[in-house]
Amino acid sequence: RAGMKDPNRPIGSFLFMGPTGVGKTELARALAEFLFDSEEAMVRLDMSEYMEKHAVSRLVGAPPGYVGHEDGGQLTEAVRRHPYSVVLFDEVEKAHPDVFNILLQVLDDGRITDSKGKTVSFANTVIVMTSNIASDQIITTLLNPDRDNTQTIDLREQVIDTLRLHFRPEFITRIDELTIFEPLKKTELRQIVSLQIHQIERMLADQKIKIHLSTSAQDYLADVGYDPIYGARPLRRAIQRELQNPIATKILETTFGEGDTIFVDCVVGGAPAETRTLTFGTKQNNSKKSTPAIIPEVILPTVAVDN
Protein backbone atom coordinates (compact mmCIF):
# COMPACT_ATOMS: atom_id res chain seq x y z
CA ARG A 1 0.00 0.00 0.00
CA ALA A 2 2.83 2.42 0.77
CA GLY A 3 4.23 1.87 -2.70
CA MET A 4 7.65 0.87 -1.36
CA LYS A 5 7.88 -2.55 -3.04
CA ASP A 6 8.24 -3.79 -6.55
CA PRO A 7 4.61 -4.10 -7.71
CA ASN A 8 5.43 -7.13 -9.84
CA ARG A 9 7.06 -9.26 -7.15
CA PRO A 10 5.16 -11.26 -4.51
CA ILE A 11 4.01 -9.37 -1.42
CA GLY A 12 6.58 -11.28 0.62
CA SER A 13 8.60 -14.49 0.65
CA PHE A 14 9.40 -16.42 3.81
CA LEU A 15 11.30 -19.56 4.75
CA PHE A 16 10.00 -21.19 7.94
CA MET A 17 12.64 -23.37 9.62
CA GLY A 18 12.16 -25.66 12.59
CA PRO A 19 11.41 -29.18 13.82
CA THR A 20 8.24 -31.00 12.90
CA GLY A 21 4.96 -30.16 14.61
CA VAL A 22 5.80 -26.62 15.75
CA GLY A 23 3.20 -24.84 13.62
CA LYS A 24 4.97 -23.83 10.41
CA THR A 25 2.11 -24.92 8.17
CA GLU A 26 -0.48 -23.72 10.67
CA LEU A 27 1.03 -20.23 10.63
CA ALA A 28 0.78 -20.17 6.83
CA ARG A 29 -2.89 -21.09 7.16
CA ALA A 30 -3.40 -18.36 9.75
CA LEU A 31 -1.69 -15.86 7.44
CA ALA A 32 -4.14 -16.75 4.68
CA GLU A 33 -7.08 -16.16 6.98
CA PHE A 34 -5.65 -12.88 8.32
CA LEU A 35 -4.59 -11.41 4.97
CA PHE A 36 -7.27 -12.79 2.68
CA ASP A 37 -10.15 -13.51 5.12
CA SER A 38 -10.21 -17.26 4.52
CA GLU A 39 -8.12 -20.34 5.26
CA GLU A 40 -9.15 -21.49 1.80
CA ALA A 41 -6.95 -18.72 0.36
CA MET A 42 -3.92 -20.99 0.72
CA VAL A 43 -2.41 -22.97 -2.13
CA ARG A 44 -0.45 -25.85 -0.64
CA LEU A 45 2.07 -27.89 -2.59
CA ASP A 46 3.79 -30.84 -0.92
CA MET A 47 7.31 -30.81 -2.35
CA SER A 48 7.80 -34.51 -1.62
CA GLU A 49 5.56 -35.05 -4.65
CA TYR A 50 8.08 -33.23 -6.85
CA MET A 51 11.24 -35.16 -5.99
CA GLU A 52 11.59 -36.67 -9.46
CA LYS A 53 12.59 -34.72 -12.56
CA HIS A 54 9.54 -35.82 -14.56
CA ALA A 55 7.23 -34.49 -11.83
CA VAL A 56 8.52 -30.92 -12.09
CA SER A 57 6.50 -30.23 -15.25
CA ARG A 58 3.28 -30.74 -13.27
CA LEU A 59 3.83 -27.34 -11.66
CA VAL A 60 3.40 -25.45 -14.94
CA GLY A 61 1.65 -28.14 -16.99
CA ALA A 62 2.61 -30.93 -19.35
CA PRO A 63 4.12 -29.89 -22.72
CA PRO A 64 1.87 -29.86 -25.83
CA GLY A 65 1.14 -33.36 -27.07
CA TYR A 66 1.56 -34.96 -23.65
CA VAL A 67 -1.19 -36.36 -21.45
CA GLY A 68 -2.51 -33.69 -19.08
CA HIS A 69 -1.56 -30.70 -21.22
CA GLU A 70 -5.12 -29.39 -21.23
CA ASP A 71 -5.33 -29.57 -17.44
CA GLY A 72 -2.69 -26.91 -16.94
CA GLY A 73 -0.14 -26.75 -14.14
CA GLN A 74 -0.91 -27.51 -10.52
CA LEU A 75 0.82 -24.32 -9.39
CA THR A 76 -0.15 -22.02 -12.24
CA GLU A 77 -3.81 -23.04 -12.34
CA ALA A 78 -4.19 -22.73 -8.56
CA VAL A 79 -2.74 -19.20 -8.54
CA ARG A 80 -4.76 -18.20 -11.61
CA ARG A 81 -7.94 -19.20 -9.78
CA HIS A 82 -6.82 -17.71 -6.46
CA PRO A 83 -4.62 -14.70 -7.30
CA TYR A 84 -4.90 -13.38 -3.73
CA SER A 85 -3.48 -16.21 -1.67
CA VAL A 86 -0.69 -17.65 0.42
CA VAL A 87 1.30 -20.13 -1.67
CA LEU A 88 2.87 -22.78 0.56
CA PHE A 89 5.75 -24.95 -0.64
CA ASP A 90 5.85 -27.56 2.12
CA GLU A 91 9.19 -29.24 2.92
CA VAL A 92 10.86 -27.42 0.07
CA GLU A 93 14.19 -29.19 0.61
CA LYS A 94 12.66 -32.39 -0.82
CA ALA A 95 11.96 -30.83 -4.23
CA HIS A 96 13.98 -31.71 -7.32
CA PRO A 97 16.66 -29.08 -8.15
CA ASP A 98 14.72 -28.07 -11.28
CA VAL A 99 11.85 -26.88 -9.07
CA PHE A 100 14.10 -24.10 -7.80
CA ASN A 101 14.43 -22.70 -11.32
CA ILE A 102 10.68 -22.08 -11.21
CA LEU A 103 10.87 -20.69 -7.68
CA LEU A 104 13.64 -18.29 -8.65
CA GLN A 105 11.48 -16.86 -11.40
CA VAL A 106 8.50 -16.51 -9.05
CA LEU A 107 10.56 -14.79 -6.34
CA ASP A 108 12.43 -12.51 -8.72
CA ASP A 109 9.98 -11.67 -11.52
CA GLY A 110 6.70 -12.44 -9.76
CA ARG A 111 5.37 -14.37 -12.74
CA ILE A 112 5.77 -17.59 -14.69
CA THR A 113 4.47 -18.85 -18.01
CA ASP A 114 2.61 -22.14 -18.10
CA SER A 115 2.73 -24.83 -20.79
CA LYS A 116 -0.08 -23.11 -22.71
CA GLY A 117 1.88 -19.89 -23.01
CA LYS A 118 -0.26 -18.01 -20.47
CA THR A 119 1.49 -15.80 -17.93
CA VAL A 120 0.46 -16.13 -14.29
CA SER A 121 1.16 -13.25 -11.90
CA PHE A 122 2.23 -13.79 -8.28
CA ALA A 123 2.13 -10.07 -7.44
CA ASN A 124 -0.74 -10.52 -4.97
CA THR A 125 0.55 -13.66 -3.28
CA VAL A 126 2.62 -14.37 -0.19
CA ILE A 127 5.18 -17.12 -0.75
CA VAL A 128 5.87 -19.39 2.24
CA MET A 129 8.34 -22.28 2.19
CA THR A 130 8.84 -24.68 5.08
CA SER A 131 11.87 -26.84 5.80
CA ASN A 132 13.05 -29.28 8.45
CA ILE A 133 16.71 -28.70 7.58
CA ALA A 134 18.87 -28.06 10.67
CA SER A 135 16.10 -29.29 12.99
CA ASP A 136 18.62 -31.15 15.14
CA GLN A 137 20.68 -27.98 15.58
CA ILE A 138 17.59 -25.97 16.48
CA ILE A 139 16.32 -28.51 19.01
CA THR A 140 19.72 -29.02 20.66
CA THR A 141 20.34 -25.30 21.06
CA LEU A 142 16.88 -24.08 22.02
CA LEU A 143 16.13 -26.90 24.48
CA ASN A 144 19.36 -26.20 26.33
CA PRO A 145 18.26 -24.63 29.66
CA ASP A 146 21.62 -22.87 30.01
CA ARG A 147 21.59 -21.14 26.62
CA ASP A 148 22.15 -17.41 26.39
CA ASN A 149 21.46 -14.74 23.77
CA THR A 150 24.84 -15.31 22.14
CA GLN A 151 23.99 -18.95 21.44
CA THR A 152 20.63 -17.93 19.98
CA ILE A 153 22.31 -15.45 17.63
CA ASP A 154 24.94 -18.03 16.68
CA LEU A 155 22.18 -20.53 15.94
CA ARG A 156 20.82 -18.35 13.17
CA GLU A 157 24.23 -18.22 11.51
CA GLN A 158 24.60 -21.99 11.87
CA VAL A 159 21.21 -22.54 10.26
CA ILE A 160 22.12 -20.25 7.35
CA ASP A 161 25.40 -22.14 6.91
CA THR A 162 23.45 -25.40 6.75
CA LEU A 163 21.06 -23.89 4.20
CA ARG A 164 24.01 -23.02 1.97
CA LEU A 165 24.85 -26.73 1.80
CA HIS A 166 21.40 -27.52 0.39
CA PHE A 167 20.30 -24.48 -1.60
CA ARG A 168 21.94 -22.28 -4.20
CA PRO A 169 23.06 -18.80 -3.06
CA GLU A 170 20.78 -17.05 -5.57
CA PHE A 171 17.79 -18.83 -4.04
CA ILE A 172 18.68 -17.93 -0.44
CA THR A 173 19.28 -14.27 -1.27
CA ARG A 174 15.83 -13.93 -2.86
CA ILE A 175 14.03 -14.90 0.36
CA ASP A 176 12.78 -11.85 2.25
CA GLU A 177 12.84 -13.36 5.72
CA LEU A 178 14.10 -16.51 7.44
CA THR A 179 12.05 -17.48 10.50
CA ILE A 180 13.25 -20.09 13.01
CA PHE A 181 10.53 -21.83 15.03
CA GLU A 182 11.35 -22.91 18.58
CA PRO A 183 10.22 -26.28 19.98
CA LEU A 184 6.86 -25.99 21.71
CA LYS A 185 6.70 -25.56 25.48
CA LYS A 186 4.05 -27.07 27.74
CA THR A 187 2.34 -23.72 28.21
CA GLU A 188 1.94 -23.42 24.45
CA LEU A 189 0.71 -27.00 24.19
CA ARG A 190 -1.93 -26.18 26.79
CA GLN A 191 -3.24 -23.43 24.51
CA ILE A 192 -3.35 -25.89 21.61
CA VAL A 193 -5.45 -28.22 23.77
CA SER A 194 -8.05 -25.45 24.10
CA LEU A 195 -8.10 -24.96 20.32
CA GLN A 196 -8.53 -28.69 19.72
CA ILE A 197 -11.39 -28.84 22.23
CA HIS A 198 -13.20 -26.07 20.34
CA GLN A 199 -13.05 -28.27 17.23
CA ILE A 200 -14.53 -31.20 19.18
CA GLU A 201 -17.26 -28.89 20.50
CA ARG A 202 -18.22 -27.99 16.93
CA MET A 203 -18.35 -31.66 15.90
CA LEU A 204 -20.54 -32.59 18.87
CA ALA A 205 -22.79 -29.57 18.29
CA ASP A 206 -23.92 -31.18 15.03
CA GLN A 207 -25.36 -33.98 17.19
CA LYS A 208 -26.80 -31.48 19.69
CA ILE A 209 -24.33 -32.61 22.35
CA LYS A 210 -22.28 -30.26 24.50
CA ILE A 211 -18.98 -30.97 26.24
CA HIS A 212 -17.15 -29.42 29.16
CA LEU A 213 -13.59 -30.28 30.22
CA SER A 214 -12.24 -29.35 33.63
CA THR A 215 -8.92 -27.56 33.95
CA SER A 216 -7.31 -30.73 35.31
CA ALA A 217 -8.56 -32.73 32.30
CA GLN A 218 -7.06 -30.20 29.90
CA ASP A 219 -3.78 -30.23 31.84
CA TYR A 220 -3.75 -34.02 31.66
CA LEU A 221 -4.12 -34.00 27.87
CA ALA A 222 -1.30 -31.47 27.56
CA ASP A 223 0.93 -33.67 29.74
CA VAL A 224 0.37 -36.97 27.92
CA GLY A 225 0.67 -35.24 24.54
CA TYR A 226 3.88 -33.36 25.31
CA ASP A 227 6.97 -34.21 23.29
CA PRO A 228 9.52 -31.43 22.62
CA ILE A 229 10.99 -33.36 19.68
CA TYR A 230 7.78 -33.98 17.71
CA GLY A 231 5.84 -30.87 18.72
CA ALA A 232 2.05 -30.90 18.62
CA ARG A 233 1.66 -34.10 16.58
CA PRO A 234 1.68 -36.45 19.62
CA LEU A 235 -0.93 -34.17 21.25
CA ARG A 236 -3.36 -34.77 18.41
CA ARG A 237 -2.96 -38.52 18.84
CA ALA A 238 -3.37 -38.22 22.61
CA ILE A 239 -6.62 -36.28 22.24
CA GLN A 240 -7.87 -38.86 19.75
CA ARG A 241 -6.97 -41.75 22.06
CA GLU A 242 -7.92 -40.28 25.43
CA LEU A 243 -10.91 -38.11 24.56
CA GLN A 244 -12.46 -38.61 21.14
CA ASN A 245 -12.40 -42.41 20.99
CA PRO A 246 -14.06 -42.96 24.41
CA ILE A 247 -16.71 -40.34 23.60
CA ALA A 248 -17.38 -41.91 20.19
CA THR A 249 -17.75 -45.33 21.84
CA LYS A 250 -20.24 -43.98 24.35
CA ILE A 251 -22.24 -42.27 21.62
CA LEU A 252 -22.45 -45.54 19.66
CA GLU A 253 -23.51 -47.32 22.86
CA THR A 254 -26.18 -44.59 23.31
CA THR A 255 -24.70 -43.68 26.70
CA PHE A 256 -24.40 -40.14 25.35
CA GLY A 257 -27.07 -38.72 23.10
CA GLU A 258 -28.91 -35.67 21.85
CA GLY A 259 -29.45 -33.03 24.52
CA ASP A 260 -26.64 -34.30 26.78
CA THR A 261 -23.78 -32.31 28.22
CA ILE A 262 -20.62 -34.41 28.65
CA PHE A 263 -18.45 -33.54 31.63
CA VAL A 264 -14.83 -34.67 31.47
CA ASP A 265 -12.60 -34.58 34.54
CA CYS A 266 -9.26 -36.04 35.61
CA VAL A 267 -8.89 -38.01 38.84
CA VAL A 268 -5.81 -39.43 40.55
CA GLY A 269 -5.75 -43.12 41.48
CA GLY A 270 -4.01 -44.76 44.43
CA ALA A 271 -1.35 -47.40 45.14
CA PRO A 272 0.77 -49.10 43.99
CA ALA A 273 1.59 -46.14 41.77
CA GLU A 274 -0.33 -42.94 41.33
CA THR A 275 -2.17 -42.88 38.03
CA ARG A 276 -4.41 -40.34 36.39
CA THR A 277 -7.48 -41.13 34.38
CA LEU A 278 -10.18 -39.19 32.59
CA THR A 279 -13.73 -39.62 33.85
CA PHE A 280 -16.75 -39.04 31.67
CA GLY A 281 -20.11 -37.98 33.06
CA THR A 282 -23.29 -36.75 31.42
CA LYS A 283 -26.13 -34.46 32.34
CA GLN A 284 -29.19 -33.82 30.23
CA ASN A 285 -30.38 -30.28 29.69
CA ASN A 286 -33.32 -30.92 32.02
CA SER A 287 -30.79 -30.76 34.91
CA LYS A 288 -30.63 -34.46 35.74
CA LYS A 289 -27.86 -35.37 38.15
CA SER A 290 -24.48 -36.00 36.55
CA THR A 291 -23.46 -39.67 36.49
CA PRO A 292 -19.70 -40.07 36.11
CA ALA A 293 -18.36 -43.25 34.57
CA ILE A 294 -14.66 -44.11 34.83
CA ILE A 295 -13.25 -45.66 31.69
CA PRO A 296 -10.35 -47.89 32.82
CA GLU A 297 -8.68 -48.33 29.45
CA VAL A 298 -7.42 -44.73 29.45
CA ILE A 299 -5.45 -45.09 32.70
CA LEU A 300 -1.85 -43.99 32.16
CA PRO A 301 1.11 -43.36 34.48
CA THR A 302 1.34 -39.89 35.95
CA VAL A 303 3.32 -37.50 33.79
CA ALA A 304 5.37 -35.01 35.77
CA VAL A 305 4.78 -31.36 34.91
CA ASP A 306 7.98 -29.35 34.56
CA ASN A 307 8.09 -25.98 36.26
pLDDT tens figures, 266-285: 988 655 556 778 888 887 65
Task: Quote the CA–CA distance of 7 and 1 in Å, as a whole number.
Answer: 10
Q: Is the pLDDT of residue 288 over 50?
A: no
Query: At residue 147, does pLDDT exceed 90?
Result: no
Query: Does pLDDT of 64 surpass 50?
Result: yes
* pLDDT beyond 90 at 290: no
Q: CB of 268 within 8 A of CB of 274? A: yes
With 70 as the cut, is the pLDDT of residue 289 above it?
no
Q: What is the mean pLDDT of residues 29-58?
A: 93
Residue 268, phi then psi, degrees to nearest 5: -105, 130
Using the predicted structure, report yes or no on whether residue 100 has a pLDDT greater than 70: yes
Question: Which pLDDT value is given to residue 296?
Answer: 42
| Of 25-39, 86-100, 273-287, minimum mean pLDDT range | 273-287
Domain range summary for the chain, segments of one domain joined by +: 12-180, 186-301
In angstroms, rounded to a whole number, what is the distance separating the alpha carbons of residues 205 and 162? 48
When mean pLDDT is compared across 150-159, 209-218, 240-249, the lowest value belongs to 150-159
In the predicted structure, residue 75 carries a pLDDT above the cut 80: yes
Dihedral sign, Cα of residue 14, residue 15, residue 17, residue 21: positive
Instruction: Kindly tell me if the per-residue pLDDT of 15 is higher than 90.
Output: yes
Q: Name the CATH architecture for the domain at 12-180.
A: 3-Layer(aba) Sandwich (3.40)
Confidence bin at 122 (pLDDT 50/70/90):
very high
Q: Which residue has the higher pLDDT, 31 or 231?
A: 31
Task: Say what the pLDDT of residue 33 is.
Answer: 95
- What SS3 class is residue 8? coil
| Tens-place pLDDT, residues 33-42 | 999 999 899 9
Sorted by sequence, the CB contacts under 8 Å of residue 47 that are 6+ apart come out as 89, 90, 91, 92, 93, 94, 95, 99
Phi, psi of 44 (to 5 degrees): -110, 130
Query: What local confidence, expressed as pLDDT, does residue 270 receive?
Result: 56
CATH number at 186-301: 1.10.8.60
What confidence tier does 295 reach under pLDDT thresholds 50, 70, 90? very low
298: Cβ–Cβ under 8 A, 6 or more apart, which residues? 241, 242, 246, 277, 278
Q: Are 48 and 163 in contact (CB under 8 A)?
A: no
Q: What pLDDT sits at residue 243?
A: 94
Alpha-carbon torsion, ordered 217, 221, 222, 228, to 10 deg: 160
d(CA 199, CA 268): 27
Mean pLDDT, all residues of the chain: 86
d(CA 129, CA 172): 12
Rg, Å, the chain Cα set = 24
Residue 237 C-alpha from the chain's centroid: 14
Q: What is the pTM of this model?
A: 0.79
Task: Select the more confidently predicted residue: 158 or 69.
Answer: 158
DSSP β-ladder status, 119-121 and 111-113? antiparallel
The secondary element (H helix, E strand) that includes residue 46 is strand 42-46
According to DSSP, residue 128 is labeled E
Are 207 and 260 a contacting pair, CB within 8 Å? no
Mean pLDDT of 109-130: 94
- Higher pLDDT among residues 81 and 293, named by residue: 81
Mean pLDDT of 174-200: 92
Contacts of 223 (CB under 8 A, 6+ apart): 186, 303, 305
List pLDDT tens digits, range 188-217: 999 999 999 999 999 999 999 999 999 999
Q: What is the DSSP string of 209-221?
A: -EEEE-HHHHHHH
pLDDT for position 293: 45
Alpha carbon separation from 66 to 53, 117, 119 (Å, rounded): 16, 15, 20
What local confidence, expressed as pLDDT, does residue 229 receive?
85
Confidence of residue 10 (pLDDT cuts 50, 70, 90): very high
